[in-house]
């Protein structure tokens, strides 16, 4: 990853760095970490293991919680044989049996922000009971709830179900026809009706039960009926079609199909397979525990991909499902085209032709998907989606246009670019906000039992705590190494111990790579010291002496030391690289020391070019030469290539010299270099240091020089082009590629950490948010 020392930043790479003084102590530590953090069978881990087993089983339990609201609408469907009898009397039984103590119906257990949902569900249940003249006692208690909490109808702090203004107002009218006197304030009733009239002018087929007889149900069925017989996979809307239209066999078949799975109730959405799988995979990734369920997630995504290829209706008729499936599949290396999102790239078309009342969740998921552009030309669809969804959400935030605090927070988080965030800190935030009784909301609030449960919460907290314990132990070892090597005498501050280790966690987060993280952090600190020496701390003669010592590695004693500073540095450097080479040889089954030494020589010689040919001689390089040399000095080859030797995968010399590796190194290096230049160019101009902004301003291909603003815009274009190309190389399976996916991931994680470091300043040299993350990821307990 990157390290910014003095006026420059040094690349700090990922992985695998050794930790103790001897191989045996390191091996012992690794075994203890595996025993602790891979959660093997010990008595103290039984509860943890049991929770993991139950989570694995949940992949086969794909259902949503009962919806009182939808069940009530299905209960109101008359029999095909008599309009005076219910078609689904079992739903009435469920309603009577599931009234809550306060007289309401709704999600159980409820939530303080779901009063509107409870009012909507309660009124729907009262209508069903009144229509069929049953449940007098339940009706009385339900009216009592509405009288007590009816004022929440206009409470802006409460979460509104989709279409609440339209549907609730229509149910009030329905109650009047049934002579059901509702104890609601007349002013509130009129207010709700006014909102209904303004909302109903838009496409509201999805909330058709709120429009009732005013709907052209025959036309809606013609345009929106799905292959499974439903309207929008909504039991309530489908039931309304039968209540007001009464002549569609496919609608009846759809509702009957639900009762084959659920005895006497319906969910707010059906079928639920795709929805549950997508949400479960997404939740596991957000909690940071997906590595424990690799085979289950692979099987789930294989199934989603099969349905994607078949253009399955359950995916493509639902905006949220389509966007989520695209995002999860693309980020998991499946071949999915952004063409499937083409119908959403125009904002006006999106809002006027979907036929479905749009929620912030759909726009939010589209925005997340739109960030995965990997092709400058083919993914212009994603760029267009990104532009309008970002503008739309930013405007809503500015105008306080979101209906509740929860949706506002979700949108604020989604507006951040996913490649600029620190994953483990995001995992922690998600765990802290996770509730086993959490919910989502469509026309009714719902939960997914396989997602919102105690097992996931306990498992995630325990896993995070275990990793924190391991991180603290590793950090103590790193501190001891720092002190033993007396790196402070080489000008390195102790703050870099935690900073470099935090970067190591970001790039190599898997617990089993303990040795990698420690060796990686050491490598980063050594690179920081080298950067300082070549950046002005050492004389030209001392630098040439260091290079000669490295070139004569096995016979360095015959070279001698030009100064005490060179002697102190090289003794630490030699010992560390030898240790690294020894560990790499064990892992690879062959010696790789010469390759490691040559990578270091490449960096040092390029640093010498910066120091002698550019800075001292005041020579301005070409743009191409600048990017090539400074990418190397940033460590774009040194760190990722060295890391490959410590991933537990045998890597051949030919593979590390392949065009694929060259491309990954090149894009990663440019991304790192340009991100650093954008944040440090003003300081470097003051220090007369080289920077691409300055070079572009003096070497424009046009006759006249470009201004600073134009130079910055050009750099941002080059940066974005290379970021996308890098992501493409990591996600798209190249034909004939022999490079393991984990090896490619290292390059993307490196760039992601650099984005975090330089998106809003120089977090390496002047850590602010990084300090918070060190505390959150390593030290601060997760007290949920």
Helix (H, G, I), strand (E, B) or coil at 736: coil
173 against 18, higher pLDDT: 173
Q: Buried b / exposed e across 69-94, counting CB within 10 Å, b at 16+? A: bbbbbbbbbbeeeeeeebbbebbbbb
Distance CA 381, CA 37 (A): 42
Same domain, 340 and 454: yes
Lowest mean pLDDT across 69-73, 232-236, 358-362, 516-520: 358-362
**DSSP track, 277-308:** HHHHHHHHHHHT-GGGGHHHHHHHHHHHHHHH
Backbone angles phi, psi at 82, to 5 degrees: -155, 130
Q: Judge whether residue 487 has pLDDT over 80.
A: yes
Instruction: Taking the CA atoms of 314, 317, 318 and 322 in sequence, report the sign of the dihedral they define.
Output: positive
Tokens of 438: 């959490």
pLDDT for 414 equals: 87
Q: What would the pLDDT profile of 179-218 be if each residue is shown by its tens digit?
A: 999 998 887 777 777 766 555 555 568 888 988 888 889 9
Phi-psi map region of 38: left, alpha, beta (phi>0 left; psi -120 to 50 alpha): alpha
User: 780: Cβ–Cβ under 8 A, 6 or more apart, which residues?
Assistant: none
Higher pLDDT, 143 or 694: 143
Distance CA 757, CA 419 (A): 11
Residues 134 and 236 in one domain: yes
Partnered with residue 721 across adjacent β-strands are none
Same structural domain, 556 and 426: no
Output DSSP code: residue 86.
B
Indicate the average pLDDT of the chain: 88
Q: Are 255 and 238 in contact (CB under 8 A)?
A: yes
Could you tell me if 118 and 188 lie in one domain?
A: yes
Q: Does residue 159 have a cis peptide bond before it, meaning omega lies within 30 degrees of 0?
A: no
For 523-560, give the secondary structure using H, E and C.
Answer: HHHHHHHHHHHHHHHCCHHHHHHHHHHHHCHHHHHHCC
Instruction: Flag whether 354 is in a domain.
Output: yes
Q: Which of 410, 429, 458 is the last residue of a domain?
A: 458
pLDDT band, very low/low/confident/very high, at 335 (cuts 50, 70, 90): very high
pLDDT at 385 (0 to 100):
96
Report the pLDDT value the prediction gives residue 628, as an integer from 0 to 100: 95
Residue 404 clears pLDDT 80, i.e. is over it: no
Q: Counting Cβ atoms within 10 Å, is residue 395 exposed (0-12), middle (13-18) or buried (19+)?
A: exposed
Position 23 scores a pLDDT of 33
More confident residue, 212 or 548: 548
- Does 435 share its domain with 573? no
The answer to whether position 768 is within a domain reads yes
650 domain-assigned: yes
Least confident range of 117-121, 357-361, 406-410, 638-642: 357-361
Contact 422, 763 (CB under 8 A): no
By three-state DSSP, how is residue 434 classified?
coil
Report whether 640 contacts 747 (CB < 8 A): yes
Please report, for the domain that includes residue 591, its CATH number: 1.10.600.10
**pLDDT(6) > 50:** no
In angstroms, rounded to a whole number, what is the distance separating the alpha carbons of residues 216 and 174? 18
How many H helices and E strands in the chain? 34, 4
Fill in the DSSP letter of residue 611.
I
| CATH classification at residue 99 | 1.50.10.160
End-to-end CA distance of the chain: 32
**CA atoms within a 13 Å half-sphere pointing along the CA-CB vector of 179:** 2
* Residue showing tokens 């802006």: 156
Report which of 206, 193, 220 is spatially closest to residue 358, judged by C-alpha positions. 206
List, for residues 312-334, the tens digit of each pLDDT value.
999 999 999 999 999 999 999 99
Of residues 205 and 522, more confidence is placed in: 522
The pLDDT score that the predictor gives to residue 517 is 87
d(Cα 12, Cα 635) in Å, to the nearest integer? 7
What is the CB-side half-sphere exposure of residue 716 using CA atoms within 13 A?
8
pLDDT-derived band at 701, boundaries 50, 70, 90: low
The domain boundary, picked from 458, 485, 507, lies at 458
Domain end among 458, 491, 525? 458
Counting residues of the chain whose pLDDT is more than 90, the rounded percentage is: 67
Q: How many CB atoms lie within 10 A of CB 666?
A: 19
216 and 297 housed in the same domain: no
Does 39 reside within a domain? no
602 and 638 inside one domain: yes
More confident residue, 33 or 539: 539
198 with 311, same domain: the answer is: no
- Give residues with Cβ within 8 angstroms of 44, minimum separation 6: none
Within 10 angstroms of residue 738's Cβ, the number of other Cβ atoms is: 12
Rounded to 10 degrees, the C-alpha dihedral 22/23/28/31 comes to 150
Confidence of residue 237 (pLDDT cuts 50, 70, 90): very high
* Structural domain count of the chain: 3
Tell me the per-residue pLDDT of 112-134, one tens digit each, with 9 for 90 and over: 999 999 999 999 999 999 999 99
Same domain, 439 and 506: no
pLDDT of residue 11: 32
Task: Give the Cα separation of 295 and 459 in Å (integer).
Answer: 18
Tell me what pLDDT residue 197 has.
Answer: 58
**Which parts of 58-88 fold into alpha helices (H)?**
68-75
Contact 247, 84 (CB under 8 A): no
Q: Residue 66 burial (CB < 10 Å; 0-12/13-18/19+)?
A: buried
pLDDT of residue 752: 95
Q: Of 620, 615, 619, 668, nearest to 641 (Cα)? A: 668
Q: Are 423 and 322 in the same domain?
A: yes
The DSSP line for 106-163 is: SSSS--TT-HHHHHHHHHHHHHHHHHTT--HHHHHHHHHHHHHHGGGGG-TTSPPPTT
Higher pLDDT among residues 147 and 28, named by residue: 147
Q: List the one residue out of 694, 677, 673 whose CA is nearest residue 621.
A: 694
Q: What is the dihedral of CA 511, 516, 521, 526, to 10 degrees?
A: 180
In this predicted structure, the answer to whether residue 3 has a pLDDT above a threshold of 50 is: no
Q: What are phi and psi of 23, to 5 degrees?
A: -65, -40
pLDDT surpasses 80 at 710: yes
Residue 772 φ then ψ, to 5°:
-65, -40
pLDDT digits over 757-779, tens only? 998 888 887 888 899 999 999 99
Phi, psi of 8 (to 5 degrees): -125, 160
Using the predicted structure, report yes or no on whether residue 239 has a pLDDT greater than 90.
Answer: yes
**Parent domain of 315:** 272-458
| pLDDT exceeds 70 at position 358 | no
Nearest residue to 33 (alpha-carbon basis) of 741, 517, 459, 458? 517
Residue 699 CA, chain-centre distance (Å), reads: 40
> Within 649-707, where are the H helices?
653-656, 659-686, 692-698
**708 domain-assigned:** yes
| Separation between Cα atoms, residue 236 and residue 138, nearest integer Å | 21
**Taking residues 575-602, what's their average pLDDT?**
94
Same domain, 524 and 671: yes
Rounded distance between C-alpha atoms, residue 464 and residue 484, angstroms: 30
- CA dist 723 and 672 (Å) reads 10
The vertex-570 CA angle with 565 and 575, nearest 5°, equals 140
pLDDT in tens, 46-69: 778 888 999 999 898 888 999 999
Residue 554 burial (C-beta neighbours within 10 Å; 0-12, 13-18, 19+): exposed
Taking the C-alpha atoms of residue 407 and residue 395, their distance in angstroms, rounded to an integer, is 14
Specify the pLDDT at position 406.
61
- What's the CA gap between 428 and 423, in Å, rounded? 9
| Secondary structure (3-state) at 355 | coil
In a domain, 24, yes or no: no
β-strand 440-441 against 2-5: which pairing, if any?
unpaired
**Preceding amide of 271 cis, omega within 30:** yes
Task: Report the range of poorest mean pLDDT among 65-69, 289-293, 368-372, 535-539.
Answer: 535-539
Cα 88 to Cα 78: distance, rounded to the nearest angstrom: 8
Asked if residue 501 and residue 433 are part of one domain, the reply reads: no
Q: What is the mean pLDDT of residues 170-185?
A: 93
Q: Could you tell me the CATH number of the domain that includes residue 391?
A: 1.50.10.130
In-domain check, residue 562: yes
pTM of the full structure: 0.89
Of 14-28, 112-126, 197-211, 526-540, least confident by mean pLDDT is 14-28
> Residue 24 pLDDT > 60, yes or no?
no
Mean pLDDT of 653-659: 91
Q: What share of the chain is helix, strand, coil (3-state, %, to 5)?
A: 65, 0, 30
Distance in angstroms (rounded) separating the CA atoms of residues 234 and 206: 8
Cα torsion through 403, 406, 407, 412, rounded to 10: 120
Query: Tokens standing for 481?
Result: 């190494």
Q: Average pLDDT of 403-425? A: 84
Torsion of CA 17, 19, 24, 25, to 10 degrees: -160
**Does the residue 237 lie in any domain?**
yes
């Amino acid at each position: 990853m990157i390290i910014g020392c003095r006026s420059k930043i040094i690349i700090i790479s990922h992985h695998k760095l050794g930790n103790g003084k001897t191989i045996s102590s390191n091996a012992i530590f690794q075994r203890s970490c595996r025993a602790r953090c891979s959660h093997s069978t010990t008595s103290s881990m039984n509860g943890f293991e049991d929770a993991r087993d139950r989570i694995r089983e949940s992949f086969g339990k794909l259902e949503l919680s009962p919806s009182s609201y939808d069940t009530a609408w299905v209960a109101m469907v008359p029999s095909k044989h008599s309009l005076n009898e219910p078609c689904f009397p079992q739903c009435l039984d469920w309603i009577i049996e599931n009234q809550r103590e306060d007289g309401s119906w709704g999600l159980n257990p409820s939530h303080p922000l779901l009063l509107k949902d409870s009012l909507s569900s309660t009124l729907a249940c009262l209508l069903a009971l009144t229509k069929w003249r049953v449940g007098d006692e339940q009706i009385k208690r339900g009216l009592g709830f509405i009288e007590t909490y009816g004022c929440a109808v206009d409470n802006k702090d409460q979460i509104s179900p989709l279409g609440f203004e339209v549907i609730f107002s229509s149910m009030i009218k329905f109650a009047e026809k049934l002579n059901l006197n509702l104890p609601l304030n007349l002013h509130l009733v009129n207010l709700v009706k006014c909102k209904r009239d303004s909302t109903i002018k838009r496409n509201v087929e999805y909330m058709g039960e709120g429009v009732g007889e005013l709907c052209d149900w025959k036309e809606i069925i013609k345009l929106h009926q799905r292959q499974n017989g439903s309207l929008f996979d909504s039991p309530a809307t489908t039931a309304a079609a039968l209540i007001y239209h009464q002549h569609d066999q496919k609608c009846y078949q759809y509702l009957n199909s639900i009762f084959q799975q659920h005895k006497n109730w319906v969910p707010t959405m059906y079928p639920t397979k795709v929805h549950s799988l997508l949400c479960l995979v997404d939740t596991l990734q957000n909690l940071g525990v997906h590595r424990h369920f690799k085979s289950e997630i692979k099987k789930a995504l294989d199934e989603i991909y099969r349905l994607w290829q078949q253009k399955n209706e359950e995916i493509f008729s639902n905006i949220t499902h389509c966007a989520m499936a695209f995002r999860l599949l693309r980020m998991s290396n499946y071949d999915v085209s952004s063409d499937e999102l083409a119908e959403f790239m125009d904002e006006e078309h999106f809002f006027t032709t979907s036929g479905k009342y749009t929620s912030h969740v759909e726009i939010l998921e589209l925005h997340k998907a739109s960030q995965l552009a990997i092709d400058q030309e083919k993914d212009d669809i994603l760029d267009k989606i990104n532009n309008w969804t970002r503008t739309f959400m930013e405007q809503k935030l500015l105008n306080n246009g979101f209906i509740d605090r929860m949706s506002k927070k979700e949108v604020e988080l989604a507006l951040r670019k996913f490649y600029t965030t620190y994953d483990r800190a995001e995992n922690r935030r998600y765990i802290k906000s996770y509730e086993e009784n959490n919910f989502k909301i469509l026309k009714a609030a719902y939960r997914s039992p396989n997602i919102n449960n105690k097992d996931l919460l306990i498992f995630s907290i325990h896993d995070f705590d275990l990793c924190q314990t391991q991180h603290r132990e590793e950090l103590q070892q790193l501190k001891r190494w720092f002190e033993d090597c007396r790196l402070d005498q080489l000008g390195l501050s102790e703050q870099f111990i935690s900073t470099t280790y935090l970067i190591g966690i970001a790039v190599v987060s898997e617990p089993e790579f303990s040795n990698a993280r420690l060796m990686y952090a050491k490598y980063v600190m050594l690179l920081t010291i080298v950067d300082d020496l070549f950046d002005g701390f050492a004389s030209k003669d001392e630098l040439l002496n260091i290079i000669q010592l490295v070139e004569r590695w096995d016979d360095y004693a015959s070279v001698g030391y030009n100064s005490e500073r060179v002697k102190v540095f090289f003794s630490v450097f030699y010992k560390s690289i030898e240790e690294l080479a020894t560990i790499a040889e064990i892992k690879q089954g062959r010696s790789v020391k010469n390759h490691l030494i040559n990578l270091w020589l490449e960096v040092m010689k390029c640093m010498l070019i910066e120091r002698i040919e550019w800075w001292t001689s005041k020579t301005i390089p070409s743009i191409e030469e600048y990017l090539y040399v400074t990418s190397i000095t940033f460590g774009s080859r040194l760190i990722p290539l060295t890391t490959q030797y410590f991933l537990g995968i045998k890597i051949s010399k030919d593979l590390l010299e392949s065009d694929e590796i060259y491309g990954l190194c090149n894009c990663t290096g440019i991304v790192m270099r340009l991100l650093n230049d954008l944040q440090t160019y003003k300081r470097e101009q003051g220090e007369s240091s080289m920077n691409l902004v300055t070079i572009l301003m003096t070497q424009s291909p046009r006759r006249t020089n470009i201004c600073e603003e134009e130079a910055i815009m050009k750099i941002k274009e080059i940066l974005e082009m290379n970021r996308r190309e890098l992501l493409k190389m990591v996600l798209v399976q190249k034909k004939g590629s022999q490079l393991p996916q984990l090896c490619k991931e290292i390059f993307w994680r490196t760039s992601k950490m650099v984005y975090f470091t330089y998106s809003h300043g120089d977090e390496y040299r002047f850590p602010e948010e990084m300090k918070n993350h060190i505390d959150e990821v390593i030290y601060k307990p997760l007290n949920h």
